[in-house]
Structure 1
Amino acid sequence: MTLLERYILRNAFTAFVSCLVALTGVIWVTQALRELDLLTGKGQTVLIFLTVTGLSLPALISVISPVALFIATLYALNKLNSDSELIVMSAAGMRPLRLMRPFLTLAAFVCLAVGMITVYVMPASFQEMRNLVTKIRADFVATMAKEGQFITLDNGITFHYRERSGDALLGIFMEDQRNKDKVVVYLAERGQTVENNGQAYLVLEKGSIQRKEPNSRDSSIVAFERYAVDLNAFNNEDSTITYKPRERSTTQLIFPDKAETFYQMQPGRFRAELHDRLSSWLYPLAMVAIAFAALGDPRTTRQGRGLSIAAAVVGVIVLRIAGFAASSAVVRTPAAVVAVYGIPLLAIAISLMLILQGATLRSIRAKAGALLGRIAFPSRPSNSQKA
């Protein structure tokens, strides 16, 4: 790579990193604010809060990186043209494909990073986030219950204890209304949470269980000296976590368990998620090609570039909308898989055609200008020729 190409690459890379950090930071803050209930409602530590929100960063980076690369390419090309460097390069005979080489190098790096994140890192982060959130929701006694307060979970569980004595809870009341026809009330003098083989239990002592009979006003009461309640059974999630397609590894999407009930219900979502991951690396390359097709042509300072920038932005928006539409279509029919890969490849092909066509038109204009110049101002014969 020549010194000039390294100079262009350095400008584009600096702009890319700046855009990536800024956009990721802003969007991450908005996502983090949505998880504040981990601190306020579920009583988690700052470390757990940062862990949960940090696990969303790979997904953000994979989405933001192509956009940051597109903005960086527009910025670098516009800066080169504003400083008249693009005009000088073109006048010196630098071809568009050679000028595009630094941007393609940066695009190759981003394509590799996006591909690695979407295929390996992002599914693992989603799966870890699901496990952590499920664990937080399951052990609601340790994370949400507060002394002297009644808490009600979304699934219909109401819990209360009078006071805490060391690790023990005194004066426990718990009502299970998940099934309105079979309401169960637990009363106990004391209790303590115990974890065994990854399962959380609430061990109650000296209490009673009151069960309402279905379709009746009668209820039965059973007294006990010691009773263990499985807290995981009160969670909204199933006891065995069923991971969504985006939370599964790429290998599990390529070779799914076709006997699984969840897969049989929504095979299209597995197919769409797989091809979204495998085609994600094409979008950085497509966005660089669109940006270069719009601003790669050198222009004088009197020629406005606003329309070209607007056209590039519209092109990227259309590209992403078409990509999302193709992904949605794959859920319904396997035939739409062609569109998932064809849309970014078509954008690359059209952009390269415009770039090469522009180079051909500039070459024709240059030759025509030179020919007209020779016709309008023919060279005068020298003194020796006159003699």
Structure 2
Amino acid sequence: MIQIERYIFRIALSAFLACLVGLTGTIWVTQALRELDLVTAKGQTLLVFLFITGLSLPTLIVVIAPVALFIAVVYALNKLNGDSELIVMSAAGMTPRSIFRPFLTLALAVSLGLGFLVIQVMPATFQELRDVITRVRGDFIANVVKEGQFTALDNGITFHFRERGPNGTLLGLFIQDRREAGKTKVYLAERGHAIDVDGQSYLALEKGSVHQQQKDSRDSSILTFERYTIDLAAFAPPDSDVIYKPRERSTTQLLFPDRSEGYFQLQKGRFRAELHDRLSAWLYPLALVFIAFAALGDPRTTRQGRGLAVASAVLAVVALRIAGFAATSAAARSQAAVAAIYAVPLAAIGLSALMIFHGARVRAFNARIGRALRGRRAVPA
């Protein structure tokens, strides 16, 4: 790029990064506040909270980056025109192609990054998020038992604790184990806390006793202890097979799915739509840049308002996204609609390119058509 093109590129890039960081940070904070329940109510650590909320960042970037790019291009073009730089560039002989080149370079860079996130990173984060949420929900201590309540499980265990102390400690524990018919065990402890050993979860009880009633007998034995460990795997319900949704599967799994899987048989359309939606996602940053430049790339004097052009560009972007969502939805129902997923952004790019590089011819052609129509109306019948 020549020096003037690098100057335009720096303006657009700085505006893009500012919008991307600002919008992503703002939305991430609002999303993170919704997950504070993980720390306050479910007893998870701050690291788990940050990890779960951090997994949403790739998705936010994918959604926000095209919008931030569109805003950056609109800002850069308005700034260049407001400072009369577009007019000077045009008068100096710069063609629309030369002015558009730095914006196209930025759009290609964003599209490549977006494509990598959509195809490779996002499915992995969705899958990891699903696994983490499953583990959090399966945390017996954090999610099943409630403070001050007797919780009866289907497997014959009744669990109670008086209150939750600092660092997740449980105070005043009562556990009744009646899993074996005719035999009852009761655990009483002053305190207890969950520990992990080699990936297994245990409940460590302190200063208590075990009351065990013998089978077919009223006699019982009492064993006091300073520390006693119980395997929490016996408390949790049996794990069920995790079925990942299409958006949680890798792109390779979408390209080569297990066609004998029952879930795939029921959701073939969603698998197809998700795959092609990912493969077409990189086209939208390009389309938005083409639309913005087609609407605002012409140099205008400061007396000529650009509000209508900006509004037209925004409406075109909204229409493009609506058409894209409609095409994806249609592709989930019909194989024939897959082409529309690619046709929508490509049509926007083609029409915008026609306006950018051949705008004068298009306007002249429209003017001739308009004069011809007015002339025909003026001829008396």
Alignment of 1:267 with 2:271, yes or no, is no
Structure 1 counterpart of 2:118: 118
User: What is the letter of the counterpart of residue 267 of structure 1?
Assistant: K
Deviation at 1:358, TM superposition (A): 2.1
User: What is the letter of the counterpart of residue 172 of structure 1?
Assistant: F
Structure 1 counterpart of 2:37: 37
Alignment of 1:234 with 2:237, yes or no, is yes
Size of the aligned set, in residue pairs, is 338
Verify the 8 A CA contact 1:95 1:359 in the aligned structure 2: no
Structure 1 counterpart of 2:149: 150
Alignment of 1:350 with 2:351, yes or no, is yes
Q: 1:134-167, CA deviations, whole angstroms, 9 ceiling, x for partnerless residues?
A: 1111123157757x533889x9x98522479998
Deviation at 1:17, TM superposition (A): 0.2
Local SS of the residue matching 1:230: helix
Distance 2:212 2:314 in 1: 67
- How many percent identity over aligned positions? 59
Structure 2 counterpart of 1:93: 93
User: What is the letter of the counterpart of residue 237 of structure 2?
Assistant: F
Distance 2:150 2:120 in 1: 39
So what's the TM-score if we normalise by structure 2?
0.78
Distance 1:231 1:272 in 2: 41
Verify the 8 A CA contact 2:149 2:160 in the aligned structure 1: yes
Q: 1:159-214, CA deviations, whole angstroms, 9 ceiling, x for partnerless residues?
A: 52247999897643589xxxxxxxxx9964468867677454669995799xxxxx
After superposition, where does 1:206-285 map in structure 2 within 5 Å? 206=210, 230=233, 233-234=236-237, 238-285=239-286
Distance 1:301 1:61 in 2: 35
Deviation at 1:278, TM superposition (A): 0.5
Q: 1:316-366, CA deviations, whole angstroms, 9 ceiling, x for partnerless residues?
A: 0011111111111111111111111100000000101111232447999xx
Distance 1:125 1:350 in 2: 36
User: What is the letter of the counterpart of residue 318 of structure 1?
Assistant: A
Distance 1:160 1:193 in 2: 15
Deviates more, 1:126-135 or 1:194-203: 194-203
Structure 1 counterpart of 2:226: none
Verify the 8 A CA contact 2:195 2:202 in the aligned structure 1: yes
Deviates more, 1:192-201 or 1:56-65: 192-201
Verify the 8 A CA contact 1:41 1:144 in the aligned structure 2: no
Distance 2:91 2:150 in 1: 74
Structure 2 counterpart of 1:332: 333
Structure 2 counterpart of 1:105: 105
Distance 1:288 1:111 in 2: 11
Seen in structure 2, the aligned counterparts of structure 1 residues 207 and 115 have a Cα distance that, compared at 3 Å, is farther
Deviation at 1:273, TM superposition (A): 1.1
Alignment of 1:2 with 2:11, yes or no, is no
Verify the 8 A CA contact 1:233 1:239 in the aligned structure 2: no
Verify the 8 A CA contact 1:293 1:355 in the aligned structure 2: yes
Distance 2:58 2:19 in 1: 16
User: What is the letter of the counterpart of residue 50 of structure 1?
Assistant: L
Distance 1:310 1:186 in 2: 73
Local SS of the residue matching 1:161: strand
Local SS of the residue matching 1:172: strand
So what's the TM-score if we normalise by structure 1?
0.77
Deviation at 1:295, TM superposition (A): 0.2
Structure 2 counterpart of 1:305: 306
Structure 1 counterpart of 2:291: 290
Verify the 8 A CA contact 1:150 1:158 in the aligned structure 2: no
Verify the 8 A CA contact 1:200 1:231 in the aligned structure 2: no
Deviation at 1:239, TM superposition (A): 2.7
Unaligned runs of 5+ in 1: 176-184, 210-222, 365-387
Distance 2:64 2:140 in 1: 35
Distance 1:151 1:274 in 2: 48
Distance 1:53 1:93 in 2: 50
User: What is the letter of the counterpart of residue 253 of structure 2?
Assistant: Q
Alignment of 1:172 with 2:140, yes or no, is no
